[in-house]
Amino acid sequence: MPDAAVLQNKKDTIKIVVLGAAGGIGQSLSLLIKSQLYYMVKTEKRLHLALYDINKDAIAGVVADMSHIDTPITISAHYSDSQDPNESLKACLTDASIVLIPAGVPRKPGMTRDDLFKINAGIVTQLTDSIIEYCDLKKLFILLISNPINSLIPVILNRFKNSNVVDSNIEKRLFGITTLDSTRGAIFLKDMLNDLKISSGLQLMEMPHVPVIGGHSGDTIIPVFSQCSAADNLSQDQISHLIHRIQYGGDEIVMAKKGKGSATLSMAHSSFKMLIKFIDLLLGNSNDITITSYISLTTLDDNEIATGGKELMSRINNLKYFAIPTVVSIDGIKEIKFKIIDYLNYNEFNELLPICLENLNSNIITGESFPK
Ligand code: NAD
Ligand code: LMR
């Protein structure tokens, strides 16, 4: 049985947990992990994938199906079947190295991500309580996918604070995944360059990198085209079109799916790209990784705020969360790359940033006020 094997060798095992694994993102992401991770990272260690969902029938079927995939990554299914539902979460979360959370409801046409707040805040709070109970918080990495990211990361961090476990430094290892915004930036830009036959310096099979900072909804999303040389030959109108498309890219999928959910496949792809970096870190293949994700700025000490973060912090008092490039080591956030703010162009700094900060602050207050 995979679990027994994992327990025997737990020091040599990287245990990846997906909570909400039977859903649209959960299934596709788990498939990528089970089928592709083996080819993406070099390791002598055991990789184990533990999948949990409240939908018992679905998760049992998903794991049965995936257990026929011929990679050495072991896999286990967890669902609340017993009189004590915590037993399944305990088995799933014990010895976890990294927990991905796509559990929660997605949008339907006409809804904003904020409309998901109440129900998803309840779900992530319950899951956070189990993480607090069963995981070693001094080592754990948590990657949140569920929306609204802007408000749910504060909900989770407050839950940790209220449980007096912040001395574990868990706030340095808690990340809201915003990668889908730069994934969209890259493909939308590449498509525009191809369609309009605009020269970019990119090879035929090369993708651009579009940095995106801020938050993950509407105008809290700040695509930073000033730091994307492939966009240098675009007009301001073309850049404005791309910015708007990235900010509201999620709506395109929600409309296309006609009430059957939001982005799942592109999100599974985006979170898998992020996960690979963390697995390299956990395996010791990299000492540091550089990622962009939505993080708590309270991980900063005063010295960092006084230097690199001065410009940003002067825009809004007490901004507590932001998506920004970050260097992460095995102990968590090591350096926040605030310089990106200094390099913003006039429009990014004077138009996009103030609107982002105003809305983000209100999303953060919503998160911090839960539960009232
Ligand atoms: P989905 O409905 O297909 O799947 C959600 C899964 O969560 C379901 O299987 C459900 O049974 C499970 N679940 C619900 N409550 C649970 C609980 N308490 N414990 C464990 N599992 C539970 O939804 P989806 O399309 O996979 O989207 C999931 C979330 O991800 C949504 O909130 C969506 O808005 C968000 N999302 C985020 C991004 C991003 O960029 N961060 C992108 C796309 C979607
Ligand atoms: C996205 O950006 O596609 C996700 O956040 C899902 C959504 O609700 O738009």
Question: Does residue 177 line the site of ligand 2, with CB under 6 A?
Answer: no
Cβ partners under 8 Å of residue 211, min gap 6: 182, 223, 224, 227, 228, 292, 325, 340
Tell me the HSE value of 267 on the side-chain side, using a 13 A CA sphere: 26
Phi (first) and psi of residue 332, to 5 degrees: 115, -160
Ligand 2 center–CA 121 separation, angstroms: 16
Residue 238 has pLDDT above 50, yes or no: yes
The Cα 18–Cα 215 span in angstroms is: 23
For residue 195, count other CB atoms closer than 10 A to its CB.
8
Q: Is the ipTM of this complex over 0.95?
A: yes
**Dihedral sign, Cα of residue 46, residue 52, residue 57, residue 58:** negative
Give pLDDT, residue 86.
84
Average pLDDT, stretch 18-32?
Answer: 98
Q: 222 and 352 in contact (C-beta within 8 Å)?
A: yes
Return the axis-axis angle of helices 86-93 and 117-134, rounded to nearest 10°. Answer: 70
Catalytic residue among 48, 216, 241, 244: 216
Residue 277 has pLDDT above 70, yes or no: yes
Question: Does residue 25 line the site of ligand 1, with CB under 6 A?
Answer: yes
Residue 299 has pLDDT above 90, yes or no: no
pTM (2 d.p.): 0.96
The Cα 141–Cα 367 span in angstroms is: 21
Average pLDDT, stretch 295-306?
Answer: 71
| Average pLDDT along the chain | 92
Question: Does residue 152 line the site of ligand 2, with CB under 6 A?
Answer: no
Question: Does residue 178 line the site of ligand 2, with CB under 6 A?
Answer: no
Question: Does residue 149 line the site of ligand 1, with CB under 6 A?
Answer: yes
Q: How do residues 64-96 score in pLDDT, each as one tens digit?
A: 999 999 999 999 999 977 667 788 999 999 999
**Dihedral sign, Cα of residue 167, residue 170, residue 173, residue 176:** negative
- Binding annotation: 20-26, 53, 107, 113, 120, 145-147, 184, 267
Ligand 2 center–CA 251 separation, angstroms: 7
Catalytic-residue membership of 216: yes
Q: Which of 54, 117, 142 to mutate to test the pocket of ligand 1 (most atoms within 8 A of CB)?
A: 54
Q: How do residues 199-235 score in pLDDT, each as one tens digit?
A: 999 999 999 999 999 999 999 999 999 999 999 999 9
Ligand 2 center–CA 250 separation, angstroms: 4
- Binding annotation for substrate: 107, 113, 147, 184
Q: 6 and 15 in contact (C-beta within 8 Å)?
A: yes
| Least distant ligand from the CA of 177 | 1
Q: How do residues 343-363 score in pLDDT, each as one tens digit?
A: 899 999 999 999 999 999 999
Q: 272 and 16 in contact (C-beta within 8 Å)?
A: no
Question: Does residue 53 line the site of ligand 1, with CB under 6 A?
Answer: yes
The Cα 20–Cα 35 span in angstroms is: 19
Among protein residues, the one whose CA lies closest to atom 5 of ligand 2: 250
